[in-house]
Amino acid sequence: MYYKKIIIALFFVFVLFSNLIAQKQDTISEIKFDEIVIQSSKNQLKYKELPASVSILTTKNIQQNQITTLSDISSTAPNFFMPDYGSKLTSPVYIRGIGSRINSPSVGLYVDNVPYFEKAAFAFDFFEIKQIEVLRGPQGTLFGRNTMGGIINIVTISPLYFQGTNINLSAGSYGSYNANIANYGLISNKIGYSLALNYKHNDGFFTNNFNNTKIDVLSSFGVRNRLIWKISDKFSVENIASFEKSDQGGYPYAVFNDSTQTANDISYNEYSGYNRNLFSDAFILKYSSNNFEIVSTSSYQFIGDEQNIDQDFTDASLYLVKQTQKQNMISQEIITRSKSKKAYNWILGAYSFAQMFDKSVDVTVFPSNMTLYKNYLSSIYGVAAFHQSTFKIGNIVLTAGIRFDYEQNLLDYEYDIEMAAGNIINKADTLYPALDYLQVLPKFSISYSFTNTSVYATIAKGYKTGGFNSTFERPEDLTFDPEYSWNYEAGVKSSLINQKLYVDIALFYIDWRNQQIYQTVPSGQGSMLKNAGHSVSKGSEFSIQFIPKRNLQVAVNYGYTHATFISNVVDSLTNYNGNFIPYVPQNTVSIQLNKTIVLNNLFINKINFSLVYKGIGDLYWNEENTSYQKYYNLVDAKISFIKNIFQFDLWGKNLLNQTYNSFYFEALGNKYVQIGKPLQFGASLSVKF
C-alpha cells in the first residue's frame, strides 16, 4: 500500500510544481499524425489515407513509454497483447484475439524489410528505432501467410535523415544495465552509413529456492549496420544487417496452489535457459521514375538457438528437455507501384520464400533412465502474386486487392529411444508426403473524406497456413489444417481543433473458421496444434492524441475484444462452445501524460514528465475458462532533465508493485504460473552530438 501512497503524492507534487512554474513556450513540435507515412502499407499511404485501424509509435513515443522490447507495446497499441512466457524462445503476439502460442505466428513482423516468420525471433532488444507501426486486421493481400491478426512494422533510423552520434547509458534495480552507441554519417550527399551497438544485462528478477540462484539472468549484445547509396536521382541501393546474441536463464515457473490461489516458491533442480544467435540482412534496390517505382527486396535470416528446460519444474528428477534449432530463411519480393496523384493508383508484386529447419529435441526421462531423440528436417517453400487497385472518385476512395498464395511443407522425421541398457530402438525414420496449400486472399475497402475526417469500411480474408506438429504421439496429430477468417471493419479518423486533437475509432467483427488451438499431447509431455472449429472475435478500438497546449500531451488508447468459441467440440462429453478464447485480454488500456517545463537557465533547458498507466484483463488461461487473470494495473513514470546535448532520466516501472500472473499453463498433472515483473527503478544518461 505504501507504494500507492508514494505514487499519489508524487502525482500531486507534479501537478502543483507544473502550475507554480511560470508559463513559458517550449519547443515541442505539434505531432501531425495526418502526415506520417505508413511504410507497411507498401503504397506509401499517409495515416489518414489508410482504411484500417493503425497505431504509430514515433521515436519520442518509444522513449517516453520506455519501450525496449515488443512486449512493451502491450496496451499502448489497442488490442495488442504480448505476454511474458519466461524466455525469448516463446514469444507469441495477439491482436484482436488472434494469435498462436506455438508454431508459426498469426501476426506478421517486419524489421527493416526483413520478414520474421518465427516467433523465436520476435523478442529482440530495441535500439535506435525510428517508427513502429501496428496494423490491425488481416493483411494477407499485401503480406500473405500468417498475418491474420495484423502486421507489426519496425523501421530503424536512416543516415539519410539523421547524422550524428547517440550515446545512451542506463542502470537500474535487479542489476540492470544497458548501453548503446550509434553513429550516423554521410560520406557524400549520396552515400550514407550507420553503425549501432547495444548491450543489455540484468541479474534476474526471480530466485530458484532449490539452489538459491537467480533464474532469469540475461545478457545480450546487438549490432546493426546500414549502408545507403543513391546512385542517381532515380536509382538507390541499400543494405541493412543486424545481429543479436543473447544468453538467458529462463522459465521462472512455480506450481500454482489451488487451495490458496497463490504460487508456491519456485524450486526446480535442473538448469533451464535459452541461448540464441539471430542474424538478419536486407538488400533493397529502388528505381523511381515520374510515374512509377520499382522496389526489389532480398532478405535473409538465420536463427541458431538452444533451449534447456526442466519440464516438470519441481525438485524431483523427472524430465529434462534439450532443444536445438537452426533456421535459414530467404525471401525475395519485387513490387511495382504508381506514383501519380491521379484518380487511379495501383500496386503489383511477386513474392517467394524458402524456410529450412534443422531441429532436434532430446528428452531425458530420469525415472526409467531413458532418452528420447527426435530430429526434424523441415522445409517450407512459397510463392505469391498480388495486386491492389485504388480508385478515387471525388471524396470517395475505393480499394480492391487480391493475392494468390501457394505454399509447400515437407518434413523428414526421425525418432530413436535409447534404453537404460544402452541399446537404441528406432521408432520412426520417415519422409512424409508434402503438404500443399493454395489460397486466394481478397480485400475490399471504401473510404469517404470530408474536412479533416475520414470514414472507412473494409472486408478482408485472413489465412494462416497448416503444417506439421513438432510433437505428436498419434498419427492423427501429425498435421493440422489451415485456419481462415473474414474480417469486417468500420472506422473513423479525424483531426480536430487545428490538428491538436486526433481521434481514431474502429469496430471489427471476425468470423474465424478451423481455428488452430494449442493442446498438450496425451502424455502431457509436449504440446501440439489441433483445429477447433468455429470462433468469433468482435470488439472496438479507440485512440485519442490530444495536445491542449504546446507543453502538454495526452494519449488515451483503449481496446475491447470479445473472442469466443462458437463451436469447439472435443468429444461426445466435452465441448467449449461459448467459452472465451485463452490468452486474449478482454480490455487493454493505456493513458499517457507528458508535460514539459521550459526553464532555459544555466543548468537546465527543460524538464519533461512522463506518466503512463496500463490496464490489462480479464484474461483466461485455458479453454475451460476455469483459470484466469483478473484485470490489473501497471504504472510507469519518467522524469527527464535536458541541457543542450545531454539528457538525464529517472525512471520507474510497475511503480505500484502490482502482483499479477503473466503466464499460466497445465502439464504433468500440475498447474504452473509465472509472476509478472516487480517494481523497477533506475537512471539513464543520453548524449546526442
SS3 state of residue 656: coil
What does the DSSP assignment read for 506-523? Answer: EEEEEEEES-EEEEE-TT
Confidence tier at 32 by pLDDT (50, 70, 90): low
Q: Which residues pair with 656 in a beta bridge?
A: none
Number of neighbours of residue 248 by Cβ within 10 angstroms: 23
C-alpha dist (Å) from residue 413 to 64, 89, 375, 426, 432: 48, 22, 6, 11, 8
168-172 own/partner pairs: CB under 8 Å, 24+ apart: 168/127, 168/684, 168/685, 168/686, 168/687, 169/684, 169/685, 169/686, 170/649, 170/682, 170/683, 170/684, 170/685, 171/682, 171/683, 171/684, 172/651, 172/680, 172/681, 172/682, 172/683
Of the listed ranges 37-46, 270-279, 388-397, the one predicted with least confidence: 37-46
pLDDT digits (tens, 9 = 90+) for 351-361: 999 999 999 99
How many Å apart are CA 409 and CA 684, to the nearest integer? Answer: 47
Mean pLDDT is lowest, of 85-89, 129-133, 289-293, 588-592, for 85-89
CATH of 2-313+325-688, one of 1.25.40.10, 3.40.50.20, 2.40.170.20, 3.50.50.60: 2.40.170.20
Domain ranges of the chain: 2-313+325-688
Please tell me the predicted confidence (pLDDT) of residue 8.
41
Whole-number Å distance between alpha carbons of 472 and 468: 9
**Which residues is 94 bridged to in the sheet?**
81
State the cell numbers at 78: 489497442
Q: Residue 1: what pLDDT?
A: 43
Residue 84 has a pLDDT of 84
C-alpha cell at 481: 489444417
Nearest to 464 by CA among 149, 152, 151: 149
**pLDDT digit string (tens) for 7-26?**
444 444 344 344 433 333 33
> Would you say residue 603 has pLDDT above 50?
yes
Three-class SS string for 294-357? Answer: EEEEEEEEEEEEEEEEECCCCCCCCEEEEEEEEEEEEEEEEEEEECCCCCEEEEEEEEEEEEEE
d(CA 86, CA 218): 11
**pTM to 2 decimals?**
0.91
CA distance 116 to 107: 10
**What is the average pLDDT value for the chain, to the nearest integer?**
89
Q: What is the pLDDT of residue 31?
A: 54
Counts for the chain of helices (H) and strands (E), in that order? 3, 44
Joined together, the cell numbers standing for residue 317 give 528428477
**Contacts for 236 with CB less than 8 Å, ≥ 6 apart:** 228, 229, 230, 285, 286
What sections of 47-139 are H helices per DSSP?
A: 59-64
| Four-residue CA torsion sign, 103, 105, 110, 115 | positive
Question: Cell 500472473 belongs to which residue?
Answer: 661
- How far is C-alpha 660 from the geometric centre of its chain's CA atoms? 21
Closest CA to 435 of 375, 353, 354, 378: 378
What tens digit of pLDDT does each residue of 409-450 get?
999 999 999 998 788 898 888 989 999 999 999 999 999 999
Average pLDDT over residues 368-390: 94
Mean pLDDT score, 381-407:
95
User: What type of residue is 75?
Assistant: S
* Structure confidence at residue 2 (pLDDT): 37
Cβ atoms within 10 A of the Cβ of 40, count? 22
Confidence of residue 345 (pLDDT cuts 50, 70, 90): very high
Pick the closest to residue 310 from 211, 218, 219, 423 (CA basis): 211
Length of the chain: 689
Q: What is the mean pLDDT of residues 581-608?
A: 93
Q: What pLDDT, on the 0 to 100 scale, is given for residue 469?
A: 87
CA atoms within 13 A on the CB side of 556: 8
Beta strands 150-156 and 107-111, pairing class: parallel
Cα–Cα distance list, 492 to 56, 452, 541, 654 (Å): 16, 11, 11, 33
Which among 25-34, 65-74, 99-108 has the top mean pLDDT?
A: 65-74
- How confident is residue 234, by pLDDT bands cut at 50, 70 and 90? very high
Residue 157 — pLDDT band, cuts 50, 70, 90? very high
User: Mean per-residue pLDDT for 463-482?
Assistant: 86
Note the pLDDT tens digit of each residue in 89-103: 878 899 999 988 877
Residue 180 in this model has a pLDDT that exceeds 60: yes
Answer whether residue 154 shows pLDDT above 80. yes
For the segment 496-549, what is each residue's pLDDT rounded down to a tens digit? Answer: 888 889 999 999 999 999 988 888 787 777 778 888 889 999 999 999 999 988
The answer to whether the beta carbons of residues 106 and 98 sit under 8 Å apart is yes
Of 327, 268, 330, the closest CA to residue 86 belongs to 268
Alpha carbon 590 to its chain's center: 17
Quote the pLDDT of residue 34: 66
Q: Answer for the pair 81, 98: CB distance below 8 angstroms, yes or no.
A: no
Backbone angles phi, psi at 5, to 5 degrees: -65, -40
* Mean of pLDDT values over 321-328: 94
